[in-house]
């Protein structure tokens, strides 16, 4: 609970109806989607306007009150869990206006609380395409996507959130507006601060408005599936597709455990004996699409695919992607707790990584389903457990340590798209260096001398 005087000041800025101080309300902002302990904040503020947002940041700084910005609270690394019980959670879903979609200049300006899928739909209505499609896109906010540098299924061909941020305005800790980037494709004005803000996990500033790049949508697409008797063959097929200079927009992988679980869930006729299933989609000009689709099917067969099928119509295509969308829900139903990781390796190391994850599952006696983005090496080993079983959960934590060690040993990275937050901060130095941590901390100290912006996350204190 926060002292009444300060609460009143927040109420003055945002209106009493937008300030939540009652215990039951604060309990509902103590968690996100990460499997971590809850921390109940001192106060929750949900501003209606960007101007209020700036004043809230300034007030926090004046009082040395820690501040965690939260969009929809779907973070998978604990980035939106308040740091301490003295913290203020600032909810941005009231700042959800799409300020401009410009079809001539192919950009949009948005407030941070706009929902990703709603934005993509609004862009599509104007005949434009916003490709980043994180798994939580139906609820995630664009501000959160930028703060975490969210990815998605289309990463291989279209890149991730950072590739679509042209510029932004953000508040520094004093509530001053900082501008970086532009509505133009080229911009060499000043430090490239907006790139620094992408993936900064709420540690360096608070987003006010974001300028996002839009592109023309592909004119055609084709989806197909390929079934393999071994992960190695599937991986070789992936490598061969890329080596043939074809970049599918989506290239997804399901391991045997995931295939069996999805089939139990949906009964769509998936090959339960297969060791690997690839779900592939190509898009672009109709002629290129049909040529690439043919080639991919041929490559898959050459690399030992037992069965290759292309969707003949929209309904069949929908069925293919339904299987991928079912992966997480189906796995999540097996056990109460689902630990979804996003360790990423160079794509050629996928077979080694899948083998390693299997081995780790065996060593610690855990159920792990692995699926993910085969095209960019971003795997989602998903550990199924019950957090209430403390003994098993201790083994889960060890398994996670081993998974990260393995990914790093293969030249990979801790996080493809979920961010570091609280969950992975202890591994940061392993991937980077002591100097990196110190340098990052100095950077934060310069921008945020009182250490109020999401303190403790990513680089520790």
Determine if 138 is a binding residue for other proteins (CB under 8 A): yes
User: In terms of CB distance, is 138 or 243 closer to other proteins?
Assistant: 138
Number of residues that bind other proteins (CB under 8 A): 35
User: In terms of CB distance, is 92 or 180 closer to other proteins?
Assistant: 92
User: In terms of CB distance, is 23 or 461 closer to other proteins?
Assistant: 23
Determine if 388 is a binding residue for other proteins (CB under 8 A): yes
Using CB under 8 A, which residues numbered 411 to 440 contact other proteins?
none
Determine if 1 is a binding residue for other proteins (CB under 8 A): no
Determine if 84 is a binding residue for other proteins (CB under 8 A): no
Residue 218 is classified by DSSP as P
Spatial contact of 441 and 428, defined as CB atoms under 8 Å apart: no
Using CB under 8 A, which residues numbered 302 to 341 contact other proteins?
328-329, 332-333, 336-338
Beta partners for residue 141, in sequence order? 115
Residue 333 is classified by DSSP as T
Q: Name the burial class of residue 37, with classes exposed (0-12), middle (13-18) and buried (19+) by CB atoms within 10 angstroms of its CB.
A: exposed
Determine if 24 is a binding residue for other proteins (CB under 8 A): yes
- Sorted by sequence, the CB contacts under 8 Å of residue 226 that are 6+ apart come out as 234, 237, 277, 278, 280, 297, 300, 305, 307, 308, 309
Q: Determine which residue in the list 7, 14, 31, 232 makes contact with other proteins, applying CB under 8 A.
A: 31
Q: State both tokens at 393.
A: 């959960």
- Sorted by sequence, the CB contacts under 8 Å of residue 116 that are 6+ apart come out as 132, 133, 134, 136, 137, 138, 140, 141, 142, 145, 150
Q: State both tokens at 39.
A: 């921390």
Determine if 107 is a binding residue for other proteins (CB under 8 A): no
Helix (H, G, I), strand (E, B) or coil at 152: coil
CB atoms under 10 Å from CB of 3, counted, come to 9
User: In terms of CB distance, is 47 or 155 closer to other proteins?
Assistant: 47
Nearest-approach distance from CB 19 to other proteins, in angstroms: 12
Contact map string, positions 236 to 275, toward other proteins, x by CB under 8 A: ----------------------------------------
Determine if 30 is a binding residue for other proteins (CB under 8 A): yes
**Residue whose C-alpha is closest to residue 84's, from 390, 408, 456:** 456
Nearest-approach distance from CB 440 to other proteins, in angstroms: 28
Determine if 29 is a binding residue for other proteins (CB under 8 A): yes
Alpha-carbon torsion, ordered 347, 354, 387, 398, to 10 deg: -90
Instruction: Give the strands of the sheet with 367-373, arranged side by side.
Output: 307-310, 220-228, 276-284, 250-255, 367-373, 378-385, 337-340
Instruction: Using the rule CB under 8 A, give the single segment among 134-142, 299-307, 415-423, 450-458 that binds other proteins.
Output: 134-142
Beta partners for residue 380, in sequence order? 371
Determine if 225 is a binding residue for other proteins (CB under 8 A): no
Instruction: Give the strands of the sheet with 177-181, arranged side by side.
Output: 98-102, 107-110, 206-213, 165-171, 177-181
Q: Determine which residue in the list 1, 16, 25, 264 makes contact with other proteins, applying CB under 8 A.
A: 25
Determine if 286 is a binding residue for other proteins (CB under 8 A): no
Determine if 94 is a binding residue for other proteins (CB under 8 A): yes
Nearest-approach distance from CB 71 to other proteins, in angstroms: 10
Q: State both tokens at 345.
A: 């390796």
Nearest-approach distance from CB 102 to other proteins, in angstroms: 25
- Report how far residue 276's alpha carbon sits from residue 295's, in angstroms, rounded to the nearest whole number: 20
Determine if 10 is a binding residue for other proteins (CB under 8 A): no
User: In terms of CB distance, is 216 or 336 closer to other proteins?
Assistant: 336
Determine if 73 is a binding residue for other proteins (CB under 8 A): yes
* Residues in the chain, total: 461
Determine if 32 is a binding residue for other proteins (CB under 8 A): yes
Spatial contact of 146 and 140, defined as CB atoms under 8 Å apart: no
Q: Determine which residue in the list 139, 187, 229, 239 makes contact with other proteins, applying CB under 8 A.
A: 139
Spatial contact of 342 and 155, defined as CB atoms under 8 Å apart: no
- Report how far residue 407's alpha carbon sits from residue 387's, in angstroms, rounded to the nearest whole number: 24
User: In terms of CB distance, is 89 or 274 closer to other proteins?
Assistant: 89
Q: Determine which residue in the list 41, 46, 131, 204 makes contact with other proteins, applying CB under 8 A.
A: 46
Instruction: Using the rule CB under 8 A, give the single segment among 61-69, 133-141, 151-159, 370-378 that binds other proteins.
Output: 133-141
Q: Determine which residue in the list 3, 4, 23, 188 makes contact with other proteins, applying CB under 8 A.
A: 23
Determine if 122 is a binding residue for other proteins (CB under 8 A): no
Question: For the chain, what is the radius of gyration of the CA atoms?
Answer: 23
Nearest-approach distance from CB 336 to other proteins, in angstroms: 4
Instruction: Using the rule CB under 8 A, give the single segment among 5-13, 91-99, 102-110, 437-445 that binds other proteins.
Output: 91-99
**Residue whose C-alpha is closest to residue 259's, from 376, 358, 379, 369:** 369
Location of structure tokens 């300020």: 99
Contact residues: other proteins, CB under 8 A: 20, 22-25, 27-33, 38, 46, 72-74, 91, 93-94, 115, 117, 136, 138-139, 328-329, 332-333, 336-338, 386-388
């Amino acid at each position: 609970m926060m002292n009444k005087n300060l609460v009143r000041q927040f109420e003055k800025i945002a209106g009493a109806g937008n300030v939540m101080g009652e215990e039951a309300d604060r309990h509902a902002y103590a968690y996100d989607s990460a499997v971590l302990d809850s921390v109940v904040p001192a106060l929750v503020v949900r501003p209606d306007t960007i101007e209020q947002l700036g004043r809230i940041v300034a007030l926090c700084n004046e009082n040395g009150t820690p501040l965690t910005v939260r969009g929809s609270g779907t973070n998978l690394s604990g980035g939106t869990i308040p740091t301490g019980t003295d913290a203020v959670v600032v909810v941005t879903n009231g700042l959800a206006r799409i300020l401009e979609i410009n079809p001539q200049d192919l950009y949009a300006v948005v407030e941070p609380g706009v929902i990703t899928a709603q934005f993509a739909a609004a862009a599509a209505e104007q005949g434009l395409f916003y490709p980043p499609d994180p798994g939580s896109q139906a609820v995630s906010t664009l501000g959160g996507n930028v703060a975490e540098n969210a990815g998605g299924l289309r990463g291989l061909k279209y890149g991730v959130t950072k590739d679509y941020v042209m510029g932004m305005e953000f508040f520094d800790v004093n509530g001053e507006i900082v501008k970086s980037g532009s509505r133009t494709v080229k911009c060499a004005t000043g430090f490239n601060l907006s790139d620094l803000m992408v993936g900064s996990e709420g540690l360096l500033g608070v987003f006010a408005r974001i300028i996002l790049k839009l592109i023309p949508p592909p004119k055609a697409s084709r989806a197909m599936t390929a079934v393999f008797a071994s992960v190695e063959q599937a991986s070789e097929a992936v490598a061969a597709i890329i080596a043939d200079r074809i970049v599918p927009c989506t290239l997804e992988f399901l391991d045997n455990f995931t295939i069996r679980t999805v089939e139990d869930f949906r009964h769509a006729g998936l090959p339960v004996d297969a060791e690997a299933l690839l779900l592939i989609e190509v898009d672009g000009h109709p002629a290129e699409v049909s040529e690439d689709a043919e080639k991919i099917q041929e490559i898959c067969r050459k690399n030992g695919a037992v069965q290759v099928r292309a969707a003949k119509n929209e309904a069949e295509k929908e069925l293919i992607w339904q299987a991928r969308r079912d992966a997480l829900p189906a796995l999540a139903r097996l056990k109460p707790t689902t630990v979804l990781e996003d360790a990423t390796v160079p794509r050629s190391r996928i077979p080694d990584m899948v083998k390693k994850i299997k081995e780790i599952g065996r060593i610690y006696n855990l159920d792990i389903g692995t699926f993910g983005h085969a095209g960019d090496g971003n795997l989602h080993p998903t550990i199924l457990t019950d957090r209430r079983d403390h003994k098993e959960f201790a083994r889960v934590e060890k398994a996670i340590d081993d998974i990260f060690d393995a990914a790093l040993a293969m030249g990979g990275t801790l996080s493809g798209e979920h961010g570091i937050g609280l969950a992975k901060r202890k591994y940061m130095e392993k991937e980077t260096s002591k100097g990196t941590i110190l340098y990052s901390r100095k950077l934060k100290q310069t921008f945020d001398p009182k250490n109020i912006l999401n303190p403790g996350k990513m680089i520790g204190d």
